[in-house]
Structure 1
Amino acid sequence: MLKVSRRALLTTAAGAAAGCLVQSPAVLAQAAPLKLKFGNDLPATHSVNVRLREAVEAITAETKGQVEISLFPNNQLGSDSDMITQLRSGALELATMPGTVLSTLIPTASLTGVGFAFTSYDKVWAAMDGEVGGFIRRNIEKVGLFPFESVWDNGFRQITTSTKPITAPADLANFKIRVPVVPLWVAMFSAFGASPISVPLSEAYSALQTRIADGQENPLALIDSAKFYEVQKFCSLTNHSWDGFWLLSSGKIWKTIPQDVQKLLQTTFNAAARKQRNDIVQANADLQKSLEGKGLTFNKTDAELFQATLAKTSFYKDAKTKFGDEAWALLQRYAGNIS
């Protein structure tokens, strides 16, 4: 059992006070439990939150309640942009954040979300546990955030619609599709001639229900946990992009946490991330059948056709310019030639 001593917590509080962080929830003036808030944009039933709850319970047990982490799923603490701001200021201690959403602050964080770049999980995890992940991690640290080592899985993304199946690139012409507030994916769907509508995940269901958008794109796990099948009829297996979740701590707060607690948090959350990756693999094997039972009609697509169509536009050229030669070379080292 990890022992968080009164001296360690008092030292933490003193160090934080010296750094003008006395108002932060993580700063303790007494030998009281270390209380941390953890936010994300995912439904409570998503595998990320299931594994996070297990990890939080393990940390509480290991420290005999001396470290208390409160989990706030489903944008309870605000939009992704709000939580990024809170992390940087120290008002929020922990969060999981999709790389593509994080790219509004750190452009290279969306590198792995380039359309039709990765074709398998072998390539994804080789990149994220290797040089691509290290490159993005260093850029995250530059903006005052602490990124944990293991990236969580958001999965390969598919398109659902309420009007028609997407079988070929031409089906996306003038199609109103909800996408996250992610410039990379707005650019990709615009290149296909679609009409992308950027709204936060917490507003996506109502946007589909009220026909502000006729479709959306997300991994099967999120399509299921967000109950999009209630307002969509078709699911086209496009595998058009992969994205992961970074587990982040406020850099300001992280510096105030005792080193033994830092080590426990890293060990426990990184192990949970590995379990969650396996959850998604297993879920993907079962989810299509489950979602078919809930009313979605599935169809396969030709990824090479979509990639070739995208290559005829300026999308890849613009992406390479945006990310820079170093980042693009790293991506192609793992994903292969995608220009």
Structure 2
Amino acid sequence: MMNLNRRMLLAGGLVAPAALAACGKGPDAEIVWRLATNLPITHPLSARMKEAADRVYQQSNHRLLIEVYPSSQLGSDADTLAQVRAGAIQMLSISGLIMSILVPVTALSGIGFAFTDRQQLFGAMDGDLGDVIKKGLADHHLITTPKVFESGFRQITTSTRQINSPADLREMKIRVPLGALWTSMFRSFGSSPTSINFNEVYSALQTHVVEGQENPLAVVDTGKLYEVQRYCALTNHMWDGFWLLQNQEALEKLPGDLRDLVQLEFSNAADLQRADLAVLAETLPAKMQAEGMTLNTPETGVFRQALRDVGFYAQWKERLGDQAWRTLENAVGGLA
């Protein structure tokens, strides 16, 4: 992997000069696609996707131009999902956990405390578990590029207490994204989960509307949540990834060589972006401590057992179906 440091990753060091150019580049292209993402261009996911789009443009001899629109420029997740399904845009990067509202099996990768590390996780997501999710998406005419991009393992931060056991989550007011999986898991711990848009999270923490939140460390860092949070528990309680969806009709209209080129370049981009996130996973804990946060690493087995005791896994097994759940347990071991 190329030599990277945190400043390069988060301040735009990954972005080639062309990645910062206006989207109108390449009027000579025979075919123009639009790719929407909710992350800024300086985030490793958006930056790597833009690099892949540039390579497709060059290697196709300017036949296919993929315009990348970061930072939700084309609308919210719900808006852009509707657009890619209708064919108004051709590509969309979106969280698997958010996609579970439409395609429930995409929640499989985020089941609480299921995965122990990145090696186990990517073995499953590049294998049978990923295939189950891709099939579920294809049933809705959404075709993914071969490899899922990474958002990362999620951690819990609070302003009031250190999290060492499930009991420490009891009666905690915690911000979670909109999604049944988050709400279900934290209610299982006796917490009071509240869905708040991310652009309002900082102020909600600052004014103590909620006392905690959960996100990958890269989000804690870029959102400067360490300014309004004191404790961080490295729980790895859920993993989330971004699927790069393609409108099926638009994909099928591409000449075969261009279809293959798109899949190849965006798979390569996923590998590079995963490596970027691995760097951040190693370096950000020290950064958080330098910013004044107290970090701890709880023993996660007790959290998994607590979820098992209250029937969380049994509930989600019923919701997602025996076959899909069996594929998950084949990768991680028995849960329910």
- Residue deviations 1:205-232 (CA, integer Å, cap 9, x gap): 3433443322211111222223322332
Deviation at residue 32 of structure 1 after TM alignment: 4.6
Alpha carbons 1:177, 1:216 under 8 Å: kept = yes
Are 1:153 and 2:150 matched, yes or no? yes
Computed over aligned residues only, the root mean square deviation of the Cα atoms, in angstroms, reads 1.8
Deviation at residue 152 of structure 1 after TM alignment: 1.1
TM-score by length of 1: 0.86
Please, which of 192, 195, 199 is the counterpart of residue 198 of structure 1? 195
Deviation at residue 154 of structure 1 after TM alignment: 1.6
Distance 2:109 2:74 in 1: 27
List alignment gaps of at least 5 residues for structure 1: 1-29
SS at match of 1:244: strand
Distance 1:76 1:207 in 2: 24
Give the counterpart letter for 1:285 in structure 2: E
Deviation at residue 64 of structure 1 after TM alignment: 4.3
Please, which of 31, 39, 61 is the counterpart of residue 58 of structure 2? 61
Distance 1:220 1:158 in 2: 7
Task: Report what 2:122 is aligned to.
Answer: 125
SS at match of 1:255: helix
- Residue deviations 1:92-146 (CA, integer Å, cap 9, x gap): 2111111111100000001111111111222111111111111110110011111
Percent of aligned positions that are identical: 40
Are 1:174 and 2:171 matched, yes or no? yes
Give the counterpart letter for 2:276 in structure 1: D
Alpha carbons 2:29, 2:62 under 8 Å: kept = no
Deviation at residue 35 of structure 1 after TM alignment: 2.0
SS at match of 1:263: helix
Deviation at residue 283 of structure 1 after TM alignment: 1.5
Change (3 A) 1:31 1:277: closer
Please, which of 292, 301, 320 is the counterpart of residue 289 of structure 2? 292
Are 1:70 and 2:67 matched, yes or no? yes
Give the counterpart letter for 2:315 in structure 1: D
Are 1:83 and 2:80 matched, yes or no? yes
Alpha carbons 1:177, 1:213 under 8 Å: kept = yes
Are 1:103 and 2:88 matched, yes or no? no
Task: Report what 1:20 is aligned to.
Answer: none
Alpha carbons 2:155, 2:234 under 8 Å: kept = yes
Distance 1:332 1:138 in 2: 18
Alpha carbons 1:115, 1:307 under 8 Å: kept = yes
Distance 1:56 1:202 in 2: 28
Give the counterpart letter for 1:227 in structure 2: K
Task: Report what 2:12 is aligned to.
Answer: none
Distance 1:288 1:117 in 2: 22
Task: Report what 2:334 is aligned to.
Answer: 337
Give the counterpart letter for 1:58 in structure 2: R
Distance 1:264 1:294 in 2: 43
List alignment gaps of at least 5 residues for structure 2: 1-26
Distance 1:314 1:107 in 2: 19
Distance 2:203 2:255 in 1: 43
Give the counterpart letter for 1:156 in structure 2: F
For residues 128-139 of structure 1, the aligned pairs below 5 Å read 128-139=125-136
Give the counterpart letter for 1:287 in structure 2: L
Task: Report what 1:142 is aligned to.
Answer: 139
240-249 vs 254-263, greater mean Cα deviation: 254-263
TM-score by length of 2: 0.87
Alpha carbons 1:152, 1:246 under 8 Å: kept = yes
For residues 219-238 of structure 1, the aligned pairs below 5 Å read 219-238=216-235
Deviation at residue 253 of structure 1 after TM alignment: 2.2
Are 1:317 and 2:310 matched, yes or no? no
For residues 273-288 of structure 1, the aligned pairs below 5 Å read 273-288=270-285
Distance 1:150 1:160 in 2: 30
Task: Report what 1:10 is aligned to.
Answer: none
Alpha carbons 1:45, 1:225 under 8 Å: kept = no
- Residue deviations 1:61-110 (CA, integer Å, cap 9, x gap): 22344322222222222221222111111122111111111100000001
Task: Report what 2:44 is aligned to.
Answer: 47
Please, which of 135, 160, 164 is the counterpart of residue 163 of structure 1? 160
Please, which of 245, 268, 271 is the counterpart of residue 268 of structure 2? 271
Give the counterpart letter for 1:170 in structure 2: A
